[in-house]
Structure 1
Amino acid sequence: MKIRVKICGITRVEDAVTAADAGVDAIGLVFFSGSRRCVSIEQAQKIVHALPPFVSAVGLFVNADATEVNQVLNTVPLDILQFHGDETPAFCRQFARPFMKAIRVKSREDIQAAAEHFPDARALLFDAYVHGQFGGTGQCFDWQMLPENLPCAWVLSGGLNEGNIKEALAASGAAAVDISSGAESSAGIKDAIKIRALMRAIRAQENTENRF
């Protein structure tokens, strides 16, 4: 089974091209001013324009209002929206785009509740809960909390890097991963060597017999 990979927090054209050349399925653009990885609309336009066919552009928002989201959508050709704040299902679905909803996991109950509340999400993204922060923390959560048979597509995130990616995939059975800080030399600056090493580790894990 092919493991889908998104590299999030892209701020430079060259990093998007490197990620695409390494074989990622999607790149993430952060439109949240509270993030060190935030991009302007102009930056985002240049990055998306440089992507080859079939690499998706994902726009990440945190508690934005609808006007802000629509302003980005009117100027940047995003394929998927990713909501990382306290957005409701009705808010997420109003933009006529596939969306992912990020869940900062504290307990197994958080996971089950999200699957019930966001049945029309393209996927749920499970990230570590860190008080006062909305993602990109480099922290992991307990992968054993993930149920084996969730009734929805989901993405594993939170502190993934070359050193733990194989363990994370084996423990969780994730079919998709979202990596940000683990692919960086500094916040928002991706590291080509780390990206390629991550992709090699992920592709090697696809060939193991212990995945479920």
Structure 2
Amino acid sequence: MGNIVIVDDHPLIRVALKVILQRNGHYIAAEADNGVEAIQLVRTHKPDLVILDLDLPQLDGLSVLTYFKANNFLVKTLILTSSDPKNFAVRCLHEGAAGFICKDEALNEVGDAVKALLSGHTYFPETSLAFLQKSLSANQSTSASQLTNREITTLRLLAQGLNNREIADTLLISYKTVSTYKIRLLKKFNTTNLLALVEIARQKGII
């Protein structure tokens, strides 16, 4: 049985996960609805496992995952997200995630995933695994794979309507750095219009 932190900005999802996990004998150490609090809670509680959404306020799940890896957090991470596995399963694996589940699938699958991760295995369900194997074996790139984690985070914040100053404050970086990310994104998506940039990213399942 494991000591678990749940990170999701939807209260109903957190409640459902808590019921499923407690039914299986796990202990919920803490819950968070944003990425900044998630890092603080993991540092404080030192859980065995974190269930992490990617689309989070303040600091998105990819940035949290990258932080865990860069700072050698000894915690297993299960990604539970509505983000397209075609674009994010491989990226999350590379950033240290031990499992990936789409919210479109039954939440009851979380129980099996948690059991697998706590037993030392990884867990990528069939829908995610198909994209994962295709990318690894064929070395195929997607639009998302051509972006850095910070570029994806900036893109998500732009889609939420934040301006340069607000993005800089959220990511704790300079206003000039945000401008650099925006210029790179516009160039990579071959557009000069921010609205078009966001729309293209949505169509490709990146945000």
Taking structure 1 as the reference length, the TM-score comes to 0.35
- Greater helix fraction, Structure 1 or Structure 2: 2
Bigger radius of gyration, 1 or 2? 2
- Greater strand fraction, Structure 1 or Structure 2: 1
Taking structure 2 as the reference length, the TM-score comes to 0.36
